[in-house]
Structure 1
């Protein structure tokens, strides 16, 4: 069935409108991660546009990190690895040279009004309800991160029906499986502060000891905010490594 490229803002070039419609299909779950999207020939038939227009739209999505080409297999929705991204900052992220997925323990789950800064980051009104998770992450039984996670209530309502002990160590695949929400990208900010008494107790460090704070805003494929989290870890385990070319 032929699908007309939506007008959206008709001042935009046709390839950009096509890109936006393809992105909406990805964000809406019509095109699934792990499955190749239609070929360029199929897209020209679907939208009734020239192959050059299709190719430019696809190239834009590849450049934006939304799609990735796999030689001989097709073009796929890209799924970033956020957990390894977070733990690249801490020395205890590897065991015998291999990445470690920390164990996770949900300490608290509640429906609550978020702080103003969190509401603003998630694009919510000041009185909007959010699902808040407090989570402790451990490696070999030792606490390494304390996290508070804020999620808009409506898209993630299904998580209120899950027993806290049934939450897995990796949340992003869980969001997709239970709520149909896929995290596509994230913005992170790092700062340093002194550990408060309550977080020091959970992290098994001394109050006032320095902790690294990583604040992350996670976005869907449509660039809409889906999660805001703050992770705290002891600064003694922190490292910063970057490759400059």
Structure 2
């Protein structure tokens, strides 16, 4: 329910996000014109523009000169590889493919429940996926999703998931991912993880935990990606 104590442009912004999350406005498409929206909401054009500007600044919408304002579809898959460098013999960058190995329903532990905003023990869909280059596993991924939102995935053959999961979530479950937060840490490989990554037990690994959210900020996916620390690189520009 909208908090009526919020400024009008913020309430307008929240309503727009709710419409995107509900699928009324699809990612990649233009939102209605200013004239249409001011008439629909009964607000001044300045209020509307301020609401849209906050969404543009947050990276959820983007303007195209002469074409309008569009719902932005973020490229989350590329974010994982800004810290890792995998190249072939010619020095060309390689992006791993994805393959779902395990898919079942289970009860959420405390960490998963907290990440997804659920009660401990709630039903979640669990996916286990490997990212590979030329058959070699580069990353091992564990993914948890609220069963109430993602139950259709339990009836899909794991071989049919494809390489990109977020468009698949949208297609199969009507769930749109609009933002994410990631936490990076360093650990040592257990025997099981070492076997999966073809490295030695105790070798350093990078762990990236991601909470992916809908356009309305509802947590939709909790993902843990683990990879060999060898190809890990960190760069930051300080000015």
Structure 2 length-normalised TM: 0.95
Q: 1:66 to 1:127 in 2, by over 3 A?
A: same
The answer for the alignment partner of 1:92 in structure 2 is 86
Residue 121 (str. 1) matches residue 115 (str. 2):
yes
The answer for the alignment partner of 1:219 in structure 2 is 213
Q: Secondary structure at the match of 1:236?
A: coil
Residue 162 (str. 1) matches residue 153 (str. 2):
no
The answer for the alignment partner of 2:194 in structure 1 is 200
The answer for the alignment partner of 2:16 in structure 1 is 22
Q: Secondary structure at the match of 2:2?
A: coil
The answer for the alignment partner of 1:4 in structure 2 is none
Q: Distance in 2 between matches of 1:129 and 1:57?
A: 36
The answer for the alignment partner of 2:77 in structure 1 is 83
Cα RMSD for the two superposed structures: 1.6
Q: Distance in 1 between matches of 2:47 and 2:88?
A: 45
> Of 173, 180, 186, which aligns to 2:180?
186
1:45-56 aligned at under 5 Å gives the runs 45-56=39-50
Q: 1:148 to 1:23 in 2, by over 3 A?
A: same
Q: Distance in 2 between matches of 1:59 and 1:40?
A: 13
Unaligned runs of 5+ in 2: none
Alpha-carbon distance, 1:241 to partner = 2.0
Q: 1:94 to 1:41 in 2, by over 3 A?
A: farther
The C-alpha deviation readout for 1:170-227, integer Å capped at 9, x for no partner, is: 1111111111111111111111111011111111111111111111111110000000
Q: Distance in 1 between matches of 2:10 and 2:82?
A: 35
The answer for the alignment partner of 2:33 in structure 1 is 39
The runs of at least 4 aligned residues of structure 1 exceeding 4 Å deviation read 93-99
Query: Would you say the 8 A contact 2:86–2:93 is kept in 1?
Result: no
Unaligned runs of 5+ in 1: 1-6
